[in-house]
Amino acid sequence: MSTIPEFDVDIFSDEVLRDPFPTYARMRELGPVVRLTANGVLAVARYADVRAVLIDHTRFISGKGVGFNNQFNEVRRHSVIASDPPRHEMLRGVLQDRLGPRSIRNVEQIIRPRAQSLVDEMTRRGSFDAVTDFSQVFPLEVVGELIGLPVDARSELLRWASGAFNAFGPPGDRTSAGLADIAEQFEYIRNVATRDQLAPGSMGAAVYEAADAGVIPEEYCLHLLSAYLTAGMDTTVNALGAMVWLLGTHPEQWHELRGLPHRVNAVVNEVLRIEAPAQLFSRVAAVDAEVSGIEIAAGERVAVIYGSGNRDERQYPEPDKFDIHRNAAGHLTFGTGLHACAGQVLARIELQAVLESMIERVEAITIGEPIRKLNNVLRGFRSVPATFTPASVKNSVFSGESA
């Protein structure tokens, strides 16, 4: 029987969260499956193995939770992300109806002008914080409106979303604080995001309509609204922050990209690959299973590290290099298989709209000293001081506007 190499680094320590990539590289070197002794779980860190586990949803299940502590997995047991078929189909169907490409296409017309005015405002200001003034504003506004939330009650949503991702972690202070944030988010949904307060026709209202039509039991409404409020906000915030940071710290590539606007989708993929906003979740082996010839016993929890698969040298040459010419379309940032991100079309539209607006309107990006935010699952910044120098001639390739 194959043995699983042990690795005694706590992947949720501050030190690793600050820069997890050297640790991931050591894990990938050790083998396809590694036992994280400090965290009491197995892990897959190579691209092919992350993919293999995600695709095999009958042997590597989500129904025992995808977090790393029992309390969280219990609190979240009704959520879409922690469900297996057939319950998963029932819940995902409600989200998919509103987040699928057909429904979301109309949203593009709302998002694009907002992205343009946000970028305009930042160029007018000159210096701003690419996280608090820029990245946080956009998803909060866009997703808040799509869910149909009352405008004056949105201020705590990002804090709760960030906390909800911390709550996936192993027992500890960061995780406990995250569990308290989830409790507050649930209170908000029970008191504010109610049937009568959500905008008619919104994604949020559609959740209650699904319950009224008997498509889902009533108790799942809370968890579907929580899925929107958690998954749809801080993930995209971190992706936007990473995008400004990466482009600002690679001025020669920014300059080149302004002349290659057709590469917008490819560059969004490269940003998502190298700085995956959600670094990992987990699965539990439902039966004795095998990954790249390594046996995994039934009942083992396996950390599935998207952020490491994306930096696997077996898949991407020079994986730590940000490269606007790379084809990173196969990255694992949205997961894959049954639980692949339900909101990825929306997230891509948001990122593309912002990048297109930047290409049109921003000549140069200057970045100050960034501050990382440490989160058990999310990778992102607390603050990125930035300056946008307005383009003297507007690059009007996307809008068709005259320069």
- Residue placing its CB nearer to ligand HEM in the complex, 309 or 370: 309
Asked if 231 interacts with ligand HEM (CB under 6 A), we say: yes
d(CA 201, CA 198): 9
Binding to ligand HEM in span 261-320, by CB under 6 A: 277-278, 281, 306
Asked if 92 interacts with ligand HEM (CB under 6 A), we say: yes
Binding to ligand HEM in span 352-391, by CB under 6 A: none
**Closest of 337, 214, 211, 344 to residue 269, by C-alpha:** 344
Asked if 333 interacts with ligand HEM (CB under 6 A), we say: yes
Shortest distance, position 91 Cβ to ligand HEM, whole Å:
8
Evaluate whether 386 touches 248 at the Cβ level (below 8 Å). Answer: yes
Single residue of 75, 140, 189, 342 touching ligand HEM by CB under 6 A: 342
- Residue placing its CB nearer to ligand HEM in the complex, 80 or 131: 80
- Residue placing its CB nearer to ligand HEM in the complex, 343 or 370: 343
Shortest distance, position 240 Cβ to ligand HEM, whole Å:
8
- Residue placing its CB nearer to ligand HEM in the complex, 99 or 119: 99
Instruction: Identify each DSSP E strand in 189-262 by its residue range.
Output: none
Single residue of 46, 57, 76, 339 touching ligand HEM by CB under 6 A: 339
Single residue of 186, 188, 228, 245 touching ligand HEM by CB under 6 A: 228
Stretch that binds ligand HEM, among 4-12, 92-100, 210-218, 285-293 (CB under 6 A): 92-100
Evaluate whether 261 touches 361 at the Cβ level (below 8 Å). Answer: no
Single residue of 166, 236, 253, 308 touching ligand HEM by CB under 6 A: 236
State the DSSP H helix or E strand holding residue 388, giving kind and residue range, or none if neither: strand 385-390
Evaluate whether 163 touches 177 at the Cβ level (below 8 Å). Answer: yes
Total residues found in the chain within this entry: 403
**Residue 205 half-sphere exposure, CB side, CA atoms within 13 Å?**
12
Compute the C-alpha angle 260/266/269, nearest 5°. Answer: 145
The SS3 assignment for 254 reads: helix
- Residue placing its CB nearer to ligand HEM in the complex, 326 or 379: 379
Asked if 343 interacts with ligand HEM (CB under 6 A), we say: yes
Asked if 347 interacts with ligand HEM (CB under 6 A), we say: yes
Single residue of 143, 274, 302, 353 touching ligand HEM by CB under 6 A: 143
State the DSSP H helix or E strand holding residue 52, giving kind and residue range, or none if neither: helix 47-55
Give helix 234-248 / helix 344-361 axis angle, nearest 10°: 30
Asked if 72 interacts with ligand HEM (CB under 6 A), we say: no
- Kindly list the strands in the beta sheet with 127-129, ordered across the sheet, starting from the edge strand earlier in the chain: 127-129, 385-390, 362-367
d(CA 119, CA 386): 12
Q: Which residue has the tokens 């990002």?
A: 158
User: Which spans of this chain sit near ligand HEM (rule: CB under 6 A)?
Assistant: 54, 62, 66, 80-81, 92, 95, 99, 143, 227-228, 231-232, 235-236, 239, 277-278, 281, 306, 333-335, 339, 341-343, 346-347
